[in-house]
Amino acid sequence: MLKTLFFGTPQVAVPFLERLTETATVVGVVCRPDEPVGRGLTLTPPPIKVLAQQKGLPVYQPAGPWTPDAVNALKALGADIGVIVAYGRILPRDVFAAPRLGSINIHFSLLPLYRGAAPMQWSLIKGEARTGVTAFWLEEGLDSGPICHQADMPVDDADNAVTLRDKLIALGVSVQDRVMQDAAAGTAPRAPQVGTPTLAPQLKKDDGRIRWDAPARDIVNLVRGVVEWPGAVTTYRPDGGEPKKLKILRAFPAPGGRQPAGQILSADAKGLVIQAGDAAVRLEDVQPEGKKSMNAWSFWQGARLRLGDHLGS
């Protein structure tokens, strides 16, 4: 089995390392440093470190710039290949080139589409009907290295960042299996990326602000893509008072009219229907400011709003 050096930090990387412990010889695990978590700012290890320690694997947590000693420590492990899944930092060439064959990165898009930190989220925001996973050989540059393997899958209209991530993890683990098999046989491809690249930058808080004059489908896709962070946010004015924030958790397109964008058209047990730039959007699950998530009908019953009121500024 290939001697493998694994780079990863958050929970999304855990299934990949778990699988590698079954299919390869993991000689080391590199992850981000422990971070303070919660109100008590308790220093907490990242999920990958927890798994690595459970498996008895050596863990490396470099803080700050890579030093020659840190790079040499990785080289001394004698890894055949590196596997990177959501490590969380840009790796210098000395690091990703330390393994004999180099390192592959598992990326949640069909490269060269959606290069960057949030490919899955932007593919949802842009309403892609298909997405996938790409394993590519790391080089200097933003997700631009040659492709080792790629697999695609459909995106369901009801998928959001949570459900799609679970599907992409399962697909990604199978892609990783294929990479390891071919690398062990000496037949792992290095095919140049073909097509026009698009970017998927880190999401900003303002990316979640709903603009009700946008097309209904665009608003729904935004809700799907930013449901975890920063969340799709609008405002409402109970009894015409001061605006309060309302986070939209689940929404679908609906027939609309010719009313001003943001107007509340109807409210019943199926949700709230809000006029968008063309059609309308049916809100099913929401989270009012300072409260827990709830279905939209429950929100309506206590929100002190009337039909004809508007969401948004």
Residue 269 lies in a domain: yes
pLDDT of residue 309: 96
Tell me the whole-structure pTM to 2 decimals: 0.95
| CATH assignment of the domain containing 58 | 3.40.50.170
pLDDT tens per residue across all 313 residues of the chain: 999 999 999 999 999 999 999 999 999 999 999 999 888 889 999 999 999 999 999 999 999 899 999 999 999 999 999 999 999 999 999 999 999 999 999 999 999 999 999 999 999 999 999 999 999 999 999 999 999 999 999 999 999 999 999 999 999 999 999 999 999 999 999 999 999 999 999 999 999 999 999 999 999 999 999 999 999 999 999 988 899 999 999 999 999 888 999 999 999 999 999 999 999 999 999 999 999 999 999 999 999 999 999 999 6
Q: Are residues 296 and 155 in the same domain?
A: no
Q: Is the dihedral of CA 4, 9, 15, 16 positive or negative?
A: negative
Q: What is the CATH number of the domain that holds 276?
A: 3.10.25.10
- Whether 19 contacts 97, CB under 8 Å: no
Q: Which of 153, 185, 217 is the last residue of a domain?
A: 185
User: Domains in the chain: how many in total?
Assistant: 2
In a domain, 192, yes or no: no
Statement to judge: residues 51 and 152 lie in one domain: yes
What is the per-residue pLDDT for 73? 96
In a domain, 313, yes or no: no
Pick the last residue of a domain from 125, 150, 185. 185
**Claim to verify: residue 156 and residue 232 sit in the same structural domain:** no
Q: Do residue 151 and residue 24 come from a single domain? A: yes
